[in-house]
Amino acid sequence: MSNSNTVTEQLTEAGRKIEHSSFDIVTAEAGEHNYSEAQWNIVRRMIHATADFEFNGLAEFHPDALDAGRQAIIDGRPIVADVEMICVGLSKPRLKHFGVSTHQFISDDDVIEKAKAENTTRAVQAMRKAHIKGLLNNGIIGIGNAPTALLEVKRLILDEGIKPAVIIGMPVGFVSAEESKDELALLKDIPWIITRGRKGGTTLVVSAIHALLALAEVKQSKS
């Protein structure tokens, strides 16, 4: 990735130096990989955020994921997250540059009440609320915590016909986490980025979105 980026870089020279050095170390220690240069920018940032080199191999990309993600950011499409931690972790100045807003509904009173009444999870009802608000069509969906949110998104795609721009599906855990990502990867017409297996988490989603923001800045500067 070009170091000429300004909006999506660290704000101080010292911070930029540390981050670039860290990325160089990750690339050197990771060894061989089968990712494109753009894909590696995302995987490298995920490894940088977790110090876990297993994501070199666990991360997988739909063929259209990067183009769709970059364009969605440039177009200022909303980000819908399963939990507040993703929204808090994203850089506000970087999002503001592209006019991208973030949304999460996991703790809304109506979401909690519907989850209790229908014996579902809050994550399921939060995704349904996002759908009712019109945020999922052409939006960026980031799921790092709740497998049921990811399964609900797939249901909304198949049953309700929603078409997100890209889904970053990386829930972590032991109940349905691996299976939900396997299910998402079966989709052919909706771009996605996933981590196979049980590993995942909000940190990875934040890392992936920050990498997409940087890739979007490169594309924007060339247009």
At 71, which CATH number? 3.40.50.10230
Q: According to the model, what pLDDT value does residue 4 have?
A: 63
65-74 and 37-50 helices cross at what angle (nearest 10)?
80
In a domain, 145, yes or no: yes
In a domain, 164, yes or no: yes
Model pTM score: 0.93
| Domains held by the chain: number | 1
In a domain, 45, yes or no: no
Q: Which range of residues forms the domain containing residue 161?
A: 57-222
Q: According to the model, what pLDDT value does residue 2 have?
A: 45
* Residues acting as catalytic residues: 48
In a domain, 154, yes or no: yes
In a domain, 127, yes or no: yes
In a domain, 95, yes or no: yes
161 pLDDT above the threshold of 90: yes
- Tens of pLDDT along 41-100? 999 999 999 999 999 999 999 999 999 999 999 999 999 999 999 999 999 999 999 999
In a domain, 1, yes or no: no
Q: Where are the alpha helices (DSSP H) in the chain?
A: 13-30, 37-50, 55-58, 65-74, 84-89, 92-98, 109-118, 122-132, 147-155, 177-184, 202-222
In a domain, 119, yes or no: yes
Q: According to the model, what pLDDT value does residue 89 have?
A: 97
